Structure 1
Amino acid sequence: MKNMLEKLAKNSQQAISDGTYEINYKNQKSEKNLVEQIKNNKHASLITEVKFSSPSLGNIRQISDPVLIAKQMVDGGAVGLSVLTQPYLFNGSPDYFTKIRKEIKVPLLMKDIVVDKVQIDAAEKLGADVVLLIQAIFDMKFAQDIDEFVSYAHTKNLLVLLESHTQKEFADSTKTKADILGINNRNLDTLEISLDTTKSILENRNEKRIIISESGVESPKDIQFLNKCGADAFLVGSSIMKSKDIKGLVSELVSAI
C-alpha cells in the first residue's frame, strides 16, 4: 500500500505548493446533516461521487459540466455527493466543488487526500459538510496525529469520514472521534476491489456509528450484499460516472433497498 499512498500524499503536497487550496471566499454549507439523512432514509443511502479520473481507471468521463452531473445524481435520489478536489490523477478541482455547492443543497463531502490542515481550511471555505481522512495516511506517517486532525475539522464545523481498508485500520478508526467510518473495498496497493473487504471487517460489528462501504458498487445486488454485511450507506463513483444514464442508475441503486 505504501507506494500508491506515498504517491497520493506527494500529489497533495504538490497541490498545496501549487496553491490549489488557497480559497479567498466562503460558501454556505448545506442545512442538512449527512448522518441524519442516512439514519432517516428508508431506501439505500447513496453518496455519489463527481470524479472525472482515478488512479485505477484513468479517464472515467470526459470533463463536462459538474453541476449538471450533480443535479442528475440528486434527482436520482443520492443523499449526499462526494466531489473530488484533488487535481492530480483525479482531475478534481475546488472550482468544481464551488460550482456544485452553489446549486446543490444536499450535504457535500470534500474528497481529497488530506495530509495538511490547509486542506481542512479549504473544505470549510468551500462549504463542505464532510471531509475525508484516510487512516492509512496517518498510520504511514504521511500526516501527523489523526486525533488532532479530527478535532481540527470539528472546530471548523465539519463532519469527518474516516476511511480504512483492513481490520487493523478499522479497529484504529473506531478509537477516534470521527463522525462516520468508511470501509474502502479497494486495495490501494494493487488497486483491486473486493466487496468481501466490507464483509470481513463487519463480521462482528459492534460499532454504533454510521458505516459507509466505498468502491466497487455497480449493481443493486452489490448494494443488497453490502447492506446484509452491515453497511449503512454506500459511496459510489466510477460506475455512475461511466453511465450514460446517471439519474437512472442512481435511482436503480437507491431502490435496491
Structure 2
Amino acid sequence: MKGVLEKLANNSQTAIKDGVYDIRYANTKSQKNLVDVIKNNKHASLITEVKFSSPSLGNIREISDPVQIARQMVDGGASALSVLTQPYLFNGSPEYFTKVRKGVTIPLLMKDIVVDKIQIDAAQKLGADVVLLIQAIFDNKFAKDIDEFVSYAHKKNLLVLLESHTRQEFADSTKTSADILGINNRNLDTLEIDLATTQSILKDRNEKRIIVSESGIESPKDIQFLKKCGADAFLVGSSIMKSRDIKGLVSELVLAI
C-alpha cells in the first residue's frame, strides 16, 4: 500500500506548494448535520461523489458543469455530496467545490488526500461540512498525529470522516474522536475492490458511530448486502459518474432500502 499512498501524499504536497489550497474567501456551509441526516433517513443514505478521474479508472467522465451533475444527484435523493478538490489523478479543484457549494444546500464532504492542516483550513473556507482523513496516511507517517488533525478539524467546525481499509486500521480509527468511520472496499495497493471488506471488518461490530461503506457500489443489491453487513451509509462515485442517467441511478440506489 505504501507505494500508492506515497504517490497520493506527494501529489497533495505538490498541490500545497502550487497554492491549490490558498483559499481567500469564505463560503457558507450547509445548515444540515450529516450524522443527523443519516440517522433520520428511512432509505439508503448515499454520499454521491463528483469526480471526473481516479487513479484506478483514469478519466471517468468528460469534464463538464459540476453543479449540473450535483443537482442531478440531489434530485435523485443523495444525502450528501463528496466533491474532489485534489487536482492530480482526480481532476478535482477547489473551484468545482465552490460552484457545487453555491448550487446545493445538502452537506458536502471535501474529498482529498489530507496531509497538512492547510487543507483543513481550505475545507472550512470552501464551506465543507465534512473533511476526509485516511487512517493509512497517518499509520505510514505521511502526516503526523491523527488526533491532532481530528481536533483541528473540530475546531474549524468540521465533521471528520476517517477512512480505513483493514481490520487493524479500523480498530485504530475507533480510538479517535472522528465523527464518522469509513471503510474503503478498495485495496490501495492493488486497486482491487471487494465488498466483503466491509463484511469482514464489521463482522463483530460494536461501534456506535455512523459507518460508511465506500467504493465498488454499483447496484441496489450491493446496497442491500452492505446494509446487512452493518453499514449505515454508502459513498458511491464512479458508477454514478459513468451513468447516462445520474438522477435515475441515485434514486434506484436510495430506494434499495
TM range (shorter): over 0.9
Match of 2:77 in 1: 77
CA RMSD of aligned residues (A): 0.2
Provide, for residues 74-103 of structure 1, a one-character-per-residue CA deviation record: whole Å limited to 9, x for no partner.
Answer: 000000000000000000000000000011
Structure 1 residue 208, shift from structure 2 partner: 0.1
Question: 2: CA distance between counterparts of 1:103 and 1:185?
Answer: 30
Provide, for residues 204-252 of structure 1, a one-character-per-residue CA deviation record: whole Å limited to 9, x for no partner.
Answer: 0000000000000000000000000000000000000000000000000
Match of 1:68 in 2: 68
Identity among equivalent pairs (%) = 84
- The 3-state SS of whatever aligns with 2:110 is strand
Question: 2: CA distance between counterparts of 1:156 and 1:104?
Answer: 21
Question: Which sections of structure 1, spanning at least 5 residues, go unmatched?
Answer: none
Q: Report matched runs for 1:124-203 at 5 Å.
A: 124-203=124-203
Following TM superposition, where does structure 1 have runs of at least 4 consecutive aligned residues deviating by more than 6 angstroms? none
User: Residue type matched to 2:176 in 1?
Assistant: T
Match of 1:2 in 2: 2
Q: Report matched runs for 1:176-255 at 5 Å.
A: 176-255=176-255
Question: 2: CA distance between counterparts of 1:15 and 1:28?
Answer: 24
TM-score by length of 1: 1.00
> Number of residues paired by the alignment?
257
Structure 1 residue 60, shift from structure 2 partner: 0.0
1:97 and 2:97 matched: yes
Question: 2: CA distance between counterparts of 1:99 and 1:255?
Answer: 28
Match of 2:37 in 1: 37
User: Residue type matched to 1:150 in 2?
Assistant: V
Question: 2: CA distance between counterparts of 1:220 and 1:103?
Answer: 28
Match of 1:120 in 2: 120
Question: 2: CA distance between counterparts of 1:202 and 1:102?
Answer: 36
Structure 1 residue 68, shift from structure 2 partner: 0.1
Structure 1 residue 4, shift from structure 2 partner: 0.3
